[in-house]
Structure 1
Amino acid sequence: MFATGGEKLYKITRCRDCPNAVIKIDRVEDVLYKLFQDKDFNERHLKYLKCLRPKHHDIFQVAIAGCPNSCSQPQIKDFGIQGQLVPIIGAGCTGCGLCVAACPDNCLELATSGPAINRELCINCGKCASTCPTGTIGAGEIGFRVIRGGKLGRRPVLAQEVCSLTDEKGMVGLLTETIDLLHQEGQAGERLGSLLERINCKDKKN
């Protein structure tokens, strides 16, 4: 049996409590810690690594971002979660224009009938909904964007989108699937990003 000195072989990085967060970060963090414990991740990962002293880059990195600002840097983690709030438009617009001014990505225009959202540009940060004084723009579906496979090191790779919007159950299922994929298909000590690249290259050749 290998020994780690009691150190966790996974790390969960999260945003600070922030008014921009559109998900309950504490809740998500608790759910993820329980998943890693229930899956006996440390023992499984140590067997996968096949080494006595795991290095820093052997630690499975997870990031929880409360909103698309992504201050916890999920783009460079093995598994990243970004909070999403899909804005919906109702009645009652007074034409104040506060939503247009608040949007960081210029996704909104103010038409005669009220605000119009460019869904191709919108990344579901929820700024417009939180700014609207009349409630014309409200919160539609709230959930998670899931990305995976990010890493730094010798050959940096940004995490790629797995799902644009899912609920807590879907997010947990994707993390479980990702861990199983790494431990079942990865070569000893292979980073998730490298494994995904290898699988993609194999699929393209076939």
Structure 2
Amino acid sequence: MAKLKPAQIAEVKGKGFLINRGTENFSGRIVPRGTVFSPDDLKTVSEISSKFGNGKVIPTTRLGLEIQGIPYENVQDAIDYAESHGLKFGGTGNKIRPITSCKGTTCVYGNYDTHALAAKLYDEYYIGWADIKLPHKFKIGIGGCPNSCVKPALNDFGIEGHRIPKYNSENCKGCKVCMIEKSCPSKAAKLVDGKMVIDENVCKTCGVCSESKCPFKAVKPHNEVVYQIYVGGTWGKKSRMGTPLSKFVSEDEIAPILEKTMIWFKLNANPKERLGVAIDRLGVEKFEKDVLENDELLEKKDILFE
């Protein structure tokens, strides 16, 4: 086969295939729905690797699977085979990147079903908005609690589940060994003069105390989940911790805020400028006012598809 042209390399890069250094072969990224692969999915990935690649599969930092050593002439066959088995290659370009989530669905510290939210956003935005063009890549990370294992604050749009403790002082008996105080990882809960006090300046709203073994239920168990949104996070050569929005939001508010964030990004960022850089250039106050207060921004959604 003749030497590949830059246009051919760019064409398949847009489909999720990156050229392997020193070769004319490619690595293709399979993006899972909700960051979960089924046994059948894994079997399909294995078959694609054997049929069209070099037999090697590696995990990606966005929790996908990368099939290595695929010759250019096999790329379309690999895509067709994957799609016939319900899988998709992708994960490149100036658009929504693979959505990552922690294992909050099964983790003892997880405050909500992270995989379900990841699957919902995958369907609505990663797939539904696959054709939108943004100034730069846009990463979404979903965390189940403030332990932040999946690092939501290092994504362009990070979602983190919290539980605000609801303390009932009438139920507190001032036990000598307080199970709430004992369970609090941040040491925000302490007995003072025989009554529980929770220091709001220290509390991380992790929700652990709501699962404590307090026999008198001085902290209401299983309180409602709220979400901390982080925007503009990046890592690498130009690192920036995501800016936390000034208030917690409900699950129903996540999608509208996400949509307005992407519209704001498209309207305000320069080409090849990440969201965090645009926020720093124009100001956090402007971003928050536009995204949290300006519902008219949603009327400009069509700009994403231009």
Q: Same fold (TM over 0.5)?
A: yes
- Are 1:186 and 2:275 an aligned pair? no
SS in structure 1 of the partner of residue 263 of structure 2: helix
The AA in structure 1 aligned to 2:283 is: N
Q: What CA distance in whole angstroms lies between the structure 2 residues aligned with 1:201 and 1:73?
A: 21
- Give how far 1:67 is off: 0.5
Q: Does 1:15 align with 2:102?
A: yes
d(CA) in 1 for partners of 2:213 and 2:285? 49
Q: Could you say which structure has the greater relative contact order, defined with CA pairs below 8 angstroms and 6 or more residues apart?
A: 1
Query: In the alignment, residue 120 of structure 1 is paired with which amino acid?
Result: N
Q: Deviation at 1:185?
A: 1.6
**Which of 165, 171, 183 pairs up with 1:92?**
171
Instruction: Report if aligned partners of 2:180, 2:214 keep a CA contact under 8 Å in 1.
Output: no
Q: Secondary structure at the match of 1:180?
A: helix
More displaced 10-residue stretch of structure 1: 154-163 or 78-87 = 154-163
Q: Which runs of 5+ in 1 are unaligned?
A: 50-57
Partner deviation per Cα, 1:123-171 (whole Å, 9 max, x = no partner): 2101111113322211443211111101123221100011431111211
- The residue type equivalent to 2:219 in the other structure is I
Instruction: For 2:123, give the aligned amino acid.
Output: K
Match of 1:61 in 2: 139
Higher Rg of the two aligned structures: 2
Structure with higher strand content: 1
Work out the CA distance in 1 between the residues paired with 2:207 and 2:213. Answer: 10
Which residue of the other structure, out of 236, 240, 251, is the alignment partner of 1:153? 236
Mapped to 2, the partners of 1:171 and 1:132 lie a distance apart of 32
Which secondary structure state, in structure 2, belongs to the residue aligned with residue 182 of structure 1?
helix
Residue 189 of structure 1 deviates from its aligned partner by 2.1
- Residue 38 of structure 1, CA deviation: 7.0
Equivalences for 1:135-174 in 2 at 5 Å? 135-138=217-220, 139-174=222-257
Letter paired with 2:203: C
- Displacement of 1:14 after TM fit? 0.8
User: What TM-score results when the alignment is normalised by the length of structure 2?
Assistant: 0.57
Backbone CA RMSD of aligned residues: 2.3
Answer yes or no: is the 8 Å Cα contact 1:84–1:144 preserved in 2. Answer: yes
Q: Is the 8 A contact 2:190 2:197 kept in 1?
A: yes
Q: Is 1:43 aligned with 2:131?
A: yes
Are 1:44 and 1:183, in contact at CA under 8 Å, matched by a contact in 2?
no
Deviations 1:99-137 (A, max 9, x none): 112212111111345321111211210111111332221
Which deviations, in whole Å up to 9, do the C-alpha atoms of 1:28-52 show, x marking residues without a partner? 1122113315752x3212xx35xxx
8 Å contact 2:178–2:214 — kept in the other structure? no
Tell me, what secondary structure is at the counterpart of 1:11?
A: coil
Aligned residue pairs total: 191
Amino acid at match of 2:206: C
Cα distance in 2 for residues equivalent to 1:79 and 1:36: 13
Structure 2 CA distance for aligned equivalents of residues 74 and 37 of structure 1 = 17
Unaligned runs of 5+ in 2: 1-9, 16-88, 287-306
From the superposition, tell whether residues 164 and 23 of structure 1 become closer, same or farther in structure 2 (CA, over 3 Å). farther
Cα separation, 2, equivalents of 1:126 and 1:120: 15
> TM-score with structure 1 length normalisation?
0.83
State the 1:186 CA deviation.
Answer: 1.4
Question: Secondary structure at the residue paired with 1:89?
Answer: coil
Answer whether contact 2:231 2:276 (CA < 8 A) is retained.
yes
Partner of 1:131: 212
Q: 1:148 to 1:132 in 2, by over 3 A?
A: same
Relative to 1, partners in 2 of residues 1:33 and 1:163: Cα closer, same or farther, differing over 3 Å? Answer: farther
